[in-house]
Structure 1
Amino acid sequence: MKHVFFAALLLCAAAVQAAPALKSGTFSPARVAPEIAQKAADGSDFRLSALRGKVVVLEFGFTHCPAVCPASLAMLAQARQKLGPHADRLQVVFISVDPERDTPARLKSYLAQFDKSFIGLTGTPEQMAAIRKDYGITATKFAAPAGQSGYQMGHSSYLYFIDKKGMLRALMPFGRPADEMVHDVNVLAAE
């Protein structure tokens, strides 16, 4: 009887090791990612559900961001490079929290500096607020620092991972390295 118990214990341990854990925080249980239907910055009709079969990473940000958004987009571009021949497993979607300034042309040009495959979404303030609400993203307009004109935006800085079946699976905070992104994309792509 002891041998059966130990054999079962070893099988369970092997099963746990066979499925690598995500580096990002996970949604447990996973849930269907809220649909996004919006014009993309290139003028095409975008539907999140049309990306089934790929791992999708959503980033919320704005083109006038001085530090966080460009650093995050650079990390995502680096992750795509590190994926090499498997880069097509990952689709990055950048969603504007500043639609008043992020015109489609500006957003398309901005994202092309990082990776031409990145999809940008902008729209009316009401459309973008509805998407932020669906994903629990906050965005606040505040005055620019002294000596600068205009305004800045404060916003949540998470990357949302959506698996190949359209399930919201993980959330990565700002500042994580590209290797962790590559790890999580590979885990989700292998499922």
Structure 2
Amino acid sequence: MAIKLIVGLGNPGKDYQAHRHNVGFWFCDALAYSYTGTFKKESKFFGEVAQVNIAGVNVWLLKPNTYMNGSGQSIQSIAKFYQIDANEILIAHDELDIDPGTARIKFSGGHGGHNGLRDTIKALGSNDFYRLRVGIGHPGDKSQVADFVLHTPNKSEIEAIQNTLADSLNVIKQVVKGDVESAMKTLHTT
């Protein structure tokens, strides 16, 4: 099964672009740059959309403008319009339970307290989509999470996250073509 839609979760606007919560946007921006795609605002999809060709597959890139907690509306609208099934979607998002410098690919599962995933599962009526979980680390105390994700990582964390995004870009062709097992094997051992 090929991936037809790659979504980066984040919050729109300059005030948020450097925050940990926006690593999904960072990944989509890197993909657009690598595959010469240009994002355009699409009001009917409640976000910015680009189309790229990865390994011979036409793939939509989406950065929702609905803010994290409303991500599902944007994802559901483009998926419905282009008749893309949940299992043809890859969602890149920040992951508290993984340290900076590490990314994991996962299929299906819960939302783990991530509001963007929670809203997406609700809007799609399914949790059977792929996730690129980009590690941002955990502040150590649950009460500090909201503040933590809405701040810029420190210099060493940014470097680690950027290296992880580069590693993730290196396996995206395999993921898009449906060879997720080998992509996971490569990514999870770097």
Please report the TM-score for the alignment, with normalisation by the length of structure 1. Answer: 0.30
Q: Which has the higher strand share?
A: 1
CA radius of gyration, larger in: 1
- Judging by fraction of residues, say which structure has more helix: 2
Indicate the structure whose relative CO is greater, using CA pairs within 8 Å and at least 6 residues apart. Answer: 1
State the TM-score, normalized to the length of structure 2.
Answer: 0.30
